[in-house]
Chains A and B, each alone.
Chain A
């Protein structure tokens, strides 16, 4: 049952990503050229509303559907890993025109070469795990 709910949430997310063109290579390249407000509008309004939602959850001590506490663990303090990792991610995001959500949207939309990106991204994650202890964090 819960699995079905997660599939439905994912399906909804996938439709939103496809229909808003956030999964389009062209939209991502356009975003990094600062040539349109579209992607900034999507991320900006999602975050703007997200801040309110998260604050309300915290202030009103909202419980999950299953009655559990909603705790958002803060990320570890660092600058190096976020800046360096983020920059590496950004290089790939612009080149593939897709981040880890939209990749799977595109697979469903039938752009099969995206499979190469998905498999490579999984391998890239493996490489991170392999060299994790040698990298500055």
Chain B
């Protein structure tokens, strides 16, 4: 077994042809459990748990029926912990070298040698109000947009496209319009 599957590669970044099918497996398992693959629904559930249903009809539902998905998210947090602490020797993400140069000029000094940019996700960056502003705005856009579109990457790009749904294709086109506008036109203004 060790000849066919060298354990060492488990600790390296997993290639796309391993990760993609494994994500399909996650979708399949959730379908077989009688559920759907969709992470952003949890944000709505969190709103309902916090009592938003008293004021807004959209959150007035029995959130306890969505507990299963909160368990999935709990697992996802656990998975992030295990993946980074026990299944990685080096978490540097080797991205395209041209992009490294461009991002370095934007102030992302660890481009090509870190998993996440220190400029946005380190405790020192938290002392800058601009970092807070960026992360708050980014979060609001994700949360608002995903519900407006009726799903996120898991619900539309993976599940929806797998089910050959036209609405999901339109949503994914939207994801890319937004993403490209952000990195090409707004990044140079922000960083």
- Report which A residues bind B (CB closer than 8 A): 2-3, 5-33, 35-51, 53-54, 57, 62, 64-66, 68, 70, 72, 74-79, 81-101, 103-114, 116-130, 132, 135
Contacts and interface: CB of A to CB of B under 8 A. Distances in A.
Interface of B: 13-24, 26-34, 36, 39-40, 42-44, 46-47, 50, 52, 56-59, 67-69, 71-84, 87-88, 93, 95-96, 98-99, 103, 111-112, 114-117, 120-123, 125-126, 131-132, 134-154, 156-168, 170-184, 186-187
B83 A9 contact: no
Q: Which of A22, A32, A37, A77 has the most CB of B within 10 A?
A: A32
A40 to B, nearest CB: 8
B18 to A, nearest CB: 7
A24 B83 CA distance: 13
A49 B178 contact: no
Given A42-B23, A101-B153, A95 B80 contact: no
A31 to B, nearest CB: 7
A13 B26 contact: yes
22 contacts: A19-B87, A32-B180, A36-B95, A39-B16, A50-B162, A74-B163, A75-B168, A85-B149, A85-B150, A86-B156, A88-B174, A95-B138, A97-B116, A100-B142, A113-B125, A116-B132, A116-B136, A124-B139, A125-B143, A126-B56, A128-B143, A135-B148
